[in-house]
Amino acid sequence: MAKEMNKKVEEENSMKEKELERTGFDKKSKNALIWNHFDGIPYVKQLRKLELVNSITACLLMARLEILFAENPDYFCKYLTPGSWQSKFEGLSWTDELMISRGQFWTAFDQIGVRYRTKAKYLKAEDIFKGKYYCCYVDTTGFNKTYYFRNDELVDKCIKRLIAESSSSTPDSNLKENSEDLSLGLRK
């Protein structure tokens, strides 16, 4: 069984090497090309520790929202899906940018935010965030452009807490602790 697995891994590695040769790039150049050419969205795994962030998609969405709010502190507008008139403006919509479906987007957003179907409902709400990190409303008069807002007080508090937690745990001590646990398990 182990020989079969090793053979399969060798075949896969051989296929990868052939693909690299075919493109004319060495592995390092190909990796640099990919990372410099494509837009990336950071996966901040620590955001998963927040009580409202219950999926990787919500974690990625929150990271992207934070980037957009750093550029636009008060609010920003974005489309959910591209309209026919937007075809030449790739990336204006969430489905273009994140490469996820409408349903996946709203499932993720509903974990971390509150959405209002109209501006009127948004304006009538007493507590627009309802204990969540973000909220949005759809402007039905403006080609269904969606306006996003950040619960600054709550998000800042949560991020400060995550930073404090990550700075108080030292990776080296955790590594040593885990190594000791592993060595104890191997002695048995």
- Evaluate if residue 41 carries a pLDDT over 70: yes
Which of the four pLDDT bands, split at 50, 70 and 90, describes residue 181? very low
Which of the four pLDDT bands, split at 50, 70 and 90, describes residue 61? very high
Compute the mean pLDDT over every residue in the chain, rounded to the nearest whole number: 80
Residues 95-119 have pLDDT tens digits of 888 889 999 999 999 999 999 999 9
User: pLDDT: is 93 or 150 the higher one?
Assistant: 150
> Tell me, what's the pLDDT at 176?
52
User: pLDDT: is 58 or 143 the higher one?
Assistant: 58
User: pLDDT: is 64 or 188 the higher one?
Assistant: 64
- Mean predicted confidence (pLDDT) in 145-174: 86
Residues 62-100 have pLDDT tens digits of 999 999 999 999 999 998 888 765 555 556 789 888 889
> Tell me, what's the pLDDT at 143?
75
**Cβ pair 109, 61 in contact under 8 A:** yes
> Tell me, what's the pLDDT at 184?
45
Q: For strands 76-78 and 145-150, give the pairing.
A: antiparallel
- Mean predicted confidence (pLDDT) in 32-36: 58
User: pLDDT: is 5 or 43 the higher one?
Assistant: 43
User: pLDDT: is 71 or 36 the higher one?
Assistant: 71
Total Cβ atoms within 10 A of residue 58: 22
- Evaluate if residue 150 carries a pLDDT over 80: yes
- Residues sharing a CB contact under 8 Å with residue 70, sequence separation 6 or more, in sequence order: none
Shortest CA distance to 122 belongs to which of 107, 134, 106, 108?
A: 134
Percentage with pLDDT > 90 across the chain: 50
> Tell me, what's the pLDDT at 42?
84
Which tokens go with 85? 């008139």
Cα separation, 136 vs 78, whole angstroms:
10
> Tell me, what's the pLDDT at 102?
93
Beta-carbon-side half-sphere exposure of residue 145 (alpha carbons within 13 Å): 10
